Amino acid sequence: MKKIISIVSASALAVGLTVAVTPSAFAACGGNPVIYFQGAQTGAYQETGINEANGVILAIDKYNATNPAVKVDYKVIDTQASGTQSPALAKKVVDDECAIGVVGGMYSGETINAMPIYEGGKVPVISPSATNPALSNKSAYFHRVVANDFVQGPELAKIALRVSKRLFIVDDATPYGNGLAKIVASNAPKIVVGSDKVTEGTTNFTSVVAKVKAKKATAVFYGGYYPEAAIFIKALRDNPATKNVKFIAGDGVLDGEFIKLAKKNAEGAYLTAPGQPMAKVAPALEKEYKKKFKREVGLYTLEAYNAAYVFLQGIKAGKTTRESLNTWLADATVKAVGQTISFSSTGDPFKLYMNEYTIKNGKMVWVGSLL
Amino acid sequence: MAKLNLRDKFGDWWDGASPFSRTVFRILAVLAAYAIPFLKNPIIDTPETSFNSVLFYPLVMFSLMAVGLNVVVGKSGILDLGYVAFFAIGAYTHAILSAHTGLNFWEIIPFAMGFAMFAGVILGLPALRLRGDYLAIITLGFGEIVRIIAVNTEAIGGAAGLTDIPGPSSVFGIEFTVMDPRPYYWLTLTAMLFVIWGVLRLSHRKPGRAWEAIREDEDVAEFMGVSTLKYKLWAFIIGGAVGGLAGAIFASNIRSIQPELFTLNLSIMILACVVLGGMGNIWGVILGAVLLGYIPEKLRFLSDYRIIFFGLLMVVMMNIRPNGLLPRKKREVVGDKS
Amino acid sequence: MDFSILVSDFWALTIDGLVVGAIIALVSLGYTLVYGVLRLINFAHSEIFMIGTMTCYWVVQRFGFTGYEDPLPLWKFAGLFLLFGFAAAVVSGVAAVILEIVAYRRLRVLGASRLSSLISAIGASFFLVEVFQKISGAKNLDFPRLISKDTLFEFQNAYITQDKLLVIVGAAVIFYILNRVIHHTKLGLGIRAVSQDERASILMGVNVNRIISYTFLLGGVLAGFGSAFYMVFYETTKANVGFLIGISAFTAAVLGGIGNVKGALYGSFALGLFQQYTSAVLGYNWKDVVTFVILVFVLLVKPTGLFGEALQKARV
């Protein structure tokens, strides 16, 4: 009996091995080229990710509707904005013979970790919203349509210098929030009176407010995302001593949800974003989006749309391989919606946009262009 | 009531098998494990992630860590909720040393393990005097502290972490490139086999018996002359060293690390591998790690409902097999029901 | 190190620390009560708290607040608060009982190791967070301002507001009632009996399953009230809100001596105050590090927490 078992198991394993080592043939792409979107579709950051994915889908559907010679498919990979998940997903994109380009990643961390894989697979990447300066010059395959935080930070610092003489800096200890806060601090060193670091998910800002009060700051800069920013600004406004402190923050806070959460406390906040205001530069597209997806546009919907649009122009010009598309990107100048896009050798866009916003009567209001 | 117990069935066969068929089985099993990356099989392939990438992380990486944590939780019964700390220490050791010294990956490995062991001593000496849930909260805190320190120390990259971490230099003609996860899989598998070998040897000797005694009843063990602190500390240090090793390999593969990769969730996940697979039994623990690493990737087509289903599955599996999928042998389980 | 804030704003930090401590305490009691009877960490308790906050949100949403209206007059607020507070308490309580039946009961009857229950609870926790993530669209939900947060009076640089008074006084009332329940009712006697010796309780004719269900109910109700205070104070929630407060509450329970009701209470206030002071002196980001270092020292000096356990010792 024992012997039989051992023979059976041994032969089973042997068969398994032969099956295993049979090489599998790779087929060349048989269908349409595919543009991937990389970002969060589930989890805590899904809102931003879905808004961007929809922008990509809109661009591709519009393109296919014109009956082009080469139709384009899209696929969405869900990283949950996590740097541990993005490499394995990126590898699958690279393995897909039909993958021709990636719009993404949504955040910088997931993009940094996935970039070596994309580079190895020679897949061109255009990010609509990863603004970390560390991505500049990282790879010949990385491009982005937004200005990085080395552009946004100094502009935020200028706003701080304009409205205040005593600035208190708070960040959420994420690569984005902390990175931006450091750039702001180094560009306005004379007026910084103190700083503190919270964590994502913090609700208790009372000790931070006590510090703002004790340092007699007249403005705070918050590096982080809107949920904590809303709680922070409320805590500031509720304390009589910090009621009138000016609130300055970057694109992570500029979101309709910020107003919804902070209510009238959000009024008068100083906000910036490297993106173009969609309602202003592309009202028709915004309507189309609302009709198609039955939801409001997000901060980077337009950028995602434009990133996909750039790829589509390349495909239209006959660049239907990864390599040729990437080479084409280096010199191309694309007049996208509300933005003319061409990439410098670092992958950053030549024409930079930086806009200032504020919140008035519960609405996000465009103040002006900063560049 | 007769219950199908594969582990015991196999155990009986194993005990009665001749040394020759044991060796054949061992060799075949190891070969099969090494051959998995060639298995381009639609049944086991993952829908949206590259199978070979998944094979490296999470599958074999979780397995390696689970085998390490098993020494702590499964063998000696210490509830450790901060295992990610050792993983982080290993990863940061590789990232920092490779940037500031001329050492290559292979030379850094001993340092990564050494620093993780040292951290085990620092944490273990005070914490292991405590018992049960107090120890659990201390280890949980330690895991968080390591992450917080990494976030707040600008010298090691702060919140942005470290980038441009080199991979291992090639050995035996095998190149470690970002594009091919297979060498990393083989490397981790090899490391895991060494660890398994070491742990099995220890388990059958004095430390193994001491751990078992501690797990079953610490007071009695102490009374019978087992130096409980010493053996618990050793379990902790060995577990830590394996965590550090795993971290260094992980960093060499992913090439950039951020503190946010090392959260409590990972500790919990590895603990779940150990308990769900079957505490104390290495094969069960590996099975748990493979399942917990693989299921979320396989379920990707469920998108939003993936983790809901995963959570449900954990509850159901635990309720169906309370001692894990492949528990320790029966005779060892007796007394667990105190 | 900056002690100037601790000196100048000592009372402001103290008041806020008490408020935070009171909310943590209501959650912490759930951990400690369950630990008392079952000797296990109810890992999914933080999700029971989350369900409470969600209940508050949905109840209040029924009234169609936009968040831009003036705060309610006090009597109206009191009515509404009692409504959503009790709703949260009931929903959380029931959820806790269901949790026990689904995730723990079978394992307990089988006599499985406590780690198995822990993993089952972790699975339940994943499940609940993701389900509510799905329901709430993974967004932060906004709770309207129902009570004025204007300063009532100033005391040594500290601004005393109605919501802070509400939390501190309300929690004190609940603690008083809890104390009565545990020490002067049959249920309390049952809980204490099972805590001391489950087997002896069975022999004496105590229906242990029922007592355990009631314990979970009690823990859930307390977390539900805690969530109502939380919503009034912070005015926002989301699906993973339980995580941070759960860790704080668990830490507090251990600090005070897990299984010990009084310990959880004092542990929570100590933790609330201590974290407030350390974040003022060292910075918010270091408060958890300092907390754990202190915890280690406390446990080394007093291995069963500040107030000791109700029973002899904790075991895995």
Give the one of B25, B57, B253 whose C-beta lies nearest to A9's C-beta.
Answer: B25
| pLDDT at site B5 | 62
| A368 contacts A355 by C-beta, under 8 angstroms | yes
Distances (CA, A) of A363 to A252, A255, A261, A284: 17, 10, 13, 20
Average pLDDT, rounded, for chain A? 87
Taking the Cβ of residue C176 and every Cβ of chain B, the question of whether any pair is shorter than 8 Å is answered with: no
| Phi–psi pair at A361, nearest 5 degrees | 50, 40
Taking the Cβ of residue A18 and every Cβ of chain B, the question of whether any pair is shorter than 8 Å is answered with: no
pTM (2 d.p.): 0.89
DSSP state at residue B71 = I
Domains and CATH numbers, chain A: 34-147+282-341 (3.40.50.2300), 150-273 (3.40.50.2300)
Residue in C13, C160, C164, C236 to test binding to A, most A beta-carbons within 10 Å? C236
Give the one of C103, C113, C292 whose C-beta lies nearest to B141's C-beta.
Answer: C292
The predicted model gives C273-281 an average pLDDT of: 92
Q: HEC states along chain C?
A: CCHHHHHHCHHHHHHHHHHHHHHHHHHHHHHHHHHHHHCCCCCCHHHHHHHHHHHHHHHHHCCCCCCCCCCCCHHHHHHHHHHHHHHHHHHHHHHHHHHHHHHHHHHHHHCCCHHHHHHHHHHHHHHHHHHHHHHHCCCCEECCCCCCCCEEEEECCEEEEHHHHHHHHHHHHHHHHHHHHHHHCHHHHHHHHHHHCHHHHHHCCCCHHHHHHHHHHHHHHHHHHHHHHHHHHHCEECCCCHHHHHHHHHHHHHHHCCCCHHHHHHHHHHHHHHHHHHHHHCCHHHHHHHHHHHHHHHHHHCCCCCCCCCCCCCCC
**Cis peptide bond upstream of A105, omega within 30:** yes
Residue A38, classed as helix, strand or coil, is strand
Residue B117, classed as helix, strand or coil, is helix
**Cβ contact, residue pair C283, A238, below 8 Å:** no
**Cβ contact, residue pair A210, C5, below 8 Å:** yes
**Cβ contact, residue pair C247, B140, below 8 Å:** yes
| A300 contacts A54 by C-beta, under 8 angstroms | no
| A176 contacts A108 by C-beta, under 8 angstroms | yes
Q: Return d(Cα B322, Cα B337) in angstroms, integer.
A: 11
B159-173: buried (b, 16+ CB within 10 Å) or exposed (e) per residue? bbbbbebbbbeeeee
Give the residue from B198, B89, B192 showing the smallest Cα distance to B145: B89
Residue A310, classed as helix, strand or coil, is helix
Question: Within 10 A of C177 (CB to CB), how many other CB atoms are there?
Answer: 10
Q: Report residue B6's pLDDT band, with 50, 70 and 90 as the boundaries.
A: low
Question: Within 10 A of A336 (CB to CB), how many other CB atoms are there?
Answer: 21
Render pLDDT for B53-70 as a digit per residue (tens, 0 to 9).
888 888 999 999 999 999
| pLDDT at site A143 | 94
| pLDDT at site A297 | 87
**Cβ contact, residue pair B137, C123, below 8 Å:** no
| pLDDT at site B89 | 96
Q: Report residue A6's pLDDT band, with 50, 70 and 90 as the boundaries.
A: low
Domains and CATH numbers, chain C: 3-301 (1.10.3470)
Nearest Cα of chain A lies from the Cα of C107 at a distance, in angstroms, of 30
Residue carrying the six token digits 């990447």:
A125
Range in A264-273, A277-286, B299-308, C152-161 the model is least confident about: B299-308
Q: What is the ipTM of this complex?
A: 0.91
Distances (CA, A) of C235 to A170, A204, A361, C50, C144: 21, 11, 20, 13, 7
B291 pLDDT exceeds 50?
yes
- Which chain A residue's Cα is nearest to C148? A238
**Cβ contact, residue pair B315, C305, below 8 Å:** no
| pLDDT at site B1 | 38
| C316 contacts C273 by C-beta, under 8 angstroms | no
Tokens of B156: 């090691």
Question: Within 10 A of A263 (CB to CB), how many other CB atoms are there?
Answer: 20
A20-57: buried (b, 16+ CB within 10 Å) or exposed (e) per residue? beeeeeeeeeeebbbbbbbbbbbbbbbbbbbbbbbbbb
| pLDDT at site A26 | 41
Tokens of C25: 């305490």
Render pLDDT for A72-111 as a digit per residue (tens, 0 to 9).
999 999 888 888 888 888 988 988 889 999 998 899 889 9
**Cβ contact, residue pair C303, B129, below 8 Å:** yes
| C214 contacts C222 by C-beta, under 8 angstroms | no
**Cβ contact, residue pair B160, A92, below 8 Å:** no
**Whats the size of chain B, residue-wise?**
338
Render pLDDT for A38-69 as a digit per residue (tens, 0 to 9).
998 887 788 889 999 999 999 999 999 998 88
Render pLDDT for A305-327 as a digit per residue (tens, 0 to 9).
999 999 999 998 888 889 999 99
Give the residue from A98, A99, A111 showing the smallest Cα distance to A52: A111
A360 pLDDT exceeds 90?
yes
Residue A193, classed as helix, strand or coil, is strand
Q: Report residue B15's pLDDT band, with 50, 70 and 90 as the boundaries.
A: confident
Range in A126-130, B13-17, B165-169, C131-135 the model is least confident about: B13-17
User: Which regions of chain A does DSSP assign to beta strands (E)?
Assistant: 34-39, 73-78, 99-104, 125-127, 142-144, 167-171, 192-197, 219-223, 246-249, 270-273, 334-336, 339-341, 355-360, 363-369
Taking the Cβ of residue A102 and every Cβ of chain B, the question of whether any pair is shorter than 8 Å is answered with: no
A22 pLDDT exceeds 70?
no
A20 pLDDT exceeds 50?
no
Average pLDDT, rounded, for chain B? 86
Render pLDDT for A133-184 as a digit per residue (tens, 0 to 9).
988 888 899 999 999 999 999 999 999 999 999 999 999 988 889 999 999 9
Render pLDDT for B59-118 as a digit per residue (tens, 0 to 9).
999 999 999 999 998 888 888 889 999 999 999 999 999 999 889 999 999 999 999 999
| pLDDT at site A298 | 84
Q: Return d(Cα B281, Cα B195) in angstroms, integer.
A: 14
